[in-house]
Amino acid sequence: MIMKNINSNIKYLIALLVVSMTLLTACTEEENPAISNDLRVISITYNATALEEGSEVETENPQIEMVFSHSLNTTALEEALSISNVTDYVFSYDETNSFVTIAFSSPLDYETSYTLSLPGGSYGASGEALVDDYALTFSTKAFVPSQVTLSVDKTGLLEGESASISATINQPTTVDVTVSLSFAGNAIHGMDYSLSAESLSIPKGSTSSTVTLTAINDSDIEGEESVQVTIGELINAVESGTQQINLTINDELPALIIKGVMALRWATETDGNSGKAVHLKAVEDIADLSLYSLGVANNGGGTDSIEFNLPTMSVLAGEDILIAREPSALESYFETTCYGEFEHIIQTDEMSQNGDDAIELFKGTAVIETYGDADVDGTDQSWEYAGSWAYKLGGNWTTGLVNCSEGSSSTLESDCIYPLCDNPLILKGVLAISWDGSGTNGGKAVHLLANRDIADLGVYGVGVANNGGGTDGLEYSLTSMSVSEGDHILLAREVNTLSTYFGTCFSGFNHVFETDAMNQNGDDAIELFEGSTIIEVFGDSDVDGTGQPWEYAGSWAYKVGSKWTHGGVDCAATSTTTQNSACPYTFCD
């Protein structure tokens, strides 16, 4: 209570001091100054900023503060003071009744002029008078609409699943924002999906709102359906560019998937047909495989519909099925060990793809999966597989590169070993990168890739064969743990150093381990072990790599298909990140 009174007295003394200074200044300018006890407006602010004639102010949370030279008769003041174009405001005072706060109950209107008026009259607590009329005009700024963007938490739905569609504005506003959505695509609202609402309201002061789209679970086999979500109408906001969300709806998690497509060519393959095949995989038990069928969409001419019906038979979850034009030729090329990985081999002349043709998998009459684009000729497309293959690894498609198998005698001797025929764990990259800030060891690492699900990673290990002195044996055993097909594994000497250099791409590694065993200098071979057996070598353990084609000093080597590519010796020397180097690591490019 004592402190409160002290603060009140200080405020009052400040007001008196301002008046005294004003009178003192007048006395120095006039020989016979007039001493006045008139009521005066000493200062006026809007949201703590000086308010002057013609000021332009924001509309949000408006509040005016006025400081008078004397304590006020508050009733007289409130009866006389007015503000044009607004009536919804309240007065409050400090303990001296000379500091007045005028608080508005709602935001002011945009681009509107307001005049605060107080006619001359007696408003002081002791009858002090405001001699002249007081008036001050100010205006509010123009409305600047917020920008709206659309986002969604998932783009692919199975029937019964939901996606949250959000509209977000870049800044809070003092008015509600309404976003009306438009929906297109071959999925039908009310039949294939439902909506919690078709428009979103973002309340004033907020920045986002969400609606839910739910894929309706029915018994029909419809194949993949699409939904495009755009903005139809906006109130109190504008669209940030052109906003569109693309969603897909599928009937169910498929029991059968396309695992690989092939149009291989090799040294003894002369008819152009021997390497044509499709690799299917059962995700769950299937009692009758004849529910499924295949089609080849040739040359981008659109779907050719069903061309081969799979036979009536049962298959078990996890089984691999090969649909081949000439099974015996593929058996010879894949060799017995790999060919034996296929539990079911089915021959058909309908495997007519040339490596630029999309492959369609049907259930009933509905397309449930497509490799490539049925409406596009695959030549020079990222999905082309002429003289090669494409393979779904961990849910993502990878290719062996065009014509990678030509001239080979078997897949194991080609530049693109078919992944099912390769080791479950392979070398993907070796690194001894040097850059500005790497230090001696910061860029030393080995990059591994899981070709299949591995129950125990601990059966594998790595060794560094230094300076061409032959194998040094197993030097680092991997952690005993399970990894999934498609997982990328990094063994690094200094994890934090390499993470900084790789930036956002570092998150692409599923498993990262730090070990001092990564001591290669770019002229050392790298050996991958399974148990005590070497199953893969990069470089030559018996040769110092200096000056060799496989040298990676100050650089890296990266396997594309089964062919090693190189960044070039000391290619990263002046860089600070892999992205701004002369040789971005391929995994990050």
Does pLDDT of 517 surpass 90? yes
Residue that wins the pLDDT comparison between 33 and 353? 353
What is the pLDDT, as a whole number, of residue 27? Answer: 42
CA-based nearest residue to 266, from 413, 384, 431, 456:
413
**Given pLDDT bands bounded at 50, 70 and 90, which one contains residue 583?**
very high
What is the token pair recorded at 48? 């703590």
What is the pLDDT, as a whole number, of residue 34? Answer: 53
**Given pLDDT bands bounded at 50, 70 and 90, which one contains residue 411?**
very high
Distance CA 12, CA 9 (A): 5
Distance CA 221, CA 231 (A): 30
What is the pLDDT, as a whole number, of residue 178? Answer: 96
What is the pLDDT, as a whole number, of residue 28? Answer: 43
CA-based nearest residue to 173, from 141, 199, 150:
141
Beta bridge partners of 179: 200, 234
Does pLDDT of 23 surpass 80? no
CA-based nearest residue to 421, from 335, 345, 482:
335
Distance CA 151, CA 401 (A): 35
Distance CA 250, CA 159 (A): 6
Give the up-direction half-sphere exposure of residue 384: CA atoms within 13 A in the CB hemisphere.
Answer: 16
What is the pLDDT, as a whole number, of residue 59? Answer: 87
Q: Write down the mean pLDDT value for the chain.
A: 92
**% of the chain surpassing 70 pLDDT:** 94
**Given pLDDT bands bounded at 50, 70 and 90, which one contains residue 219?**
low
What is the pLDDT, as a whole number, of residue 270? Answer: 82
Predicted model pTM: 0.63
Domains of the chain: 2-140 (2.60.40.3710), 146-250 (2.60.40.2030), 256-421 (2.60.40), 425-588 (no CATH)
Q: What is the mean pLDDT of residues 411-418?
A: 95
CB 323, CB 258: distance < 8 Å = no
Does pLDDT of 535 surpass 70? yes
What is the token pair recorded at 8? 């009140």
Residues 323-382 pLDDT 10s: 999 999 999 999 999 999 999 999 999 999 999 999 999 999 888 889 999 999 999 999
What is the token pair recorded at 49? 């900023």
What is the pLDDT, as a whole number, of residue 286? Answer: 97
